[in-house]
Chain A
Amino acid sequence: MKNTMSSLLAPKVSDRVLPQGGTHALNAGRRAKRRSALLANLNLAAIVVVLGPLIIYPLLRLICLSLSGTHGLSLQAYQTFFSNPETRGVIGTTLAILFASAGLASILGVLIAALLFFKPFPGVRLLTRFLELFVAFPSFLVAFTLIFLYGSQGSIGILLQRIFHLQQAPLNFLFGSGGVILAEVIFYTPFVVRPTLASFATLDMRLLEAARSLGAGLAMVAWRVVLPMAWPGIAAGTILCFLLTLNEFGILLVLGSAHLVTLPVAIYAAATVDLDLPTAAAGAVVMLLMSLTLYAMYRRVSRRGSRHGR
């Protein structure tokens, strides 16, 4: 904005001051500027041409396929997808798993971030670096390792059995919604911890001290001072966590059972097991709408947060 303003204003002022030769040079400069603007737009158009076959074209084909019936437009595929007995309650299951795991992960993530930031211990920096690397750790691997830990023959179950002298191993929840929620909480909590820590780092600590010295208790400082100021970062992290949990597939593939079918699993099964691409496409379009809505929310919140931060 500021750039365009100055480029608009500058020639006018100098037109008056400069003699004839100067305006020629200015015209040339203006022409050069116009040419570079044209080049920049051409460049952007070229990027769209490259991104087209990568993202736009496949998604358009997906939507077209989901809407095409034997005679032109139809919603047949959507009907088939949602009337399949195996996937009937699929949206309900997806949302239940989503709110249980992403909700827990958000609360735990904010709590852990607060503890790491306000009660640091030696090794906190190492731990936060580790949490940053966690993003590159594949999610299905987390689910897989839980089998060794919390499976019916896993170490933690056996440990509990030894401690409490039980007849049987006490843990038997892993393959099903319990295990899926546990794995998703473990995998997605760091995604909340990182942005929350980042937004804590921008806090003005003097305000916290002022609140404390004016007699506010810990809870009041947390609720009335820290939370409102760190809110954009926390909100962005939470929405991102919901989005990624909604899109999760690997964990469900490893730990999900036959009666735990979420949207991605149902889409995958329709496409590769039933080999019914139109039906899978219908489910995928529904899923696309859900995730893109969440993603639009995330972008709006995180942009507002970054502007706020500056």
Chain B
Amino acid sequence: MTHTLHRRGDRENLSGDYIVFTMSAKGFNEEGSAEKMKEFLKILLKYHPVNFGDMITGNCYVKSAEEIWHNINTTSIIHAVFTDEVTVSKILQELRARDLGLSVVVTGIHETTEECCQEAGLQKHTVEHSMGIFGDLNRLPEEAVLQLSTMCGHAMVPANLVLRMVREIKKEKKSFQDAALELTKPCHCGIYNPARAEKLLRQLVPLMTYDS
């Protein structure tokens, strides 16, 4: 599962896009992991993420924080999304100090997350990069739409929904912020970044017509 990988964008707009998440290693440290994941979420919430959630329950724009927290179990995957590297550094420092014993993954621009790790006194253990998209590329939507749709790695944010939001903004049926939140809801895990989505919509909407 590479659900936080393959987020498309340029250095500028990806610089406001970081995800921190955890899960248990099945057969290794599963026992007692639910309580640790609850503590992990508590720590992350102190830093005011723009989105969070658990694959078991859903994201914070569809489910309440209490429900997400209450439902955490050993097969959960807890995520939270942040928009700046300073916050990510602080979170990693606190997670290192707390030493929950669960694996932690940070997704973002590699150079920046490397700096975050160094500031937290951590060394990256294993890394993953995207090698890009191959095959019949004519089947893909426009790059600007892909930047919005690929923030959900399970492809739960359809390209058509992005285009509908563009139309609704143009018709003044939705604000940029509301449209970004509408795109955030289908991404069950809570890894969609509504703050980045709003910025991308502000760039995209003026470039498209009703018929796009």
Verify that A and B bind, or say they do not: no
Residues of A within 8 A of B (CB): none
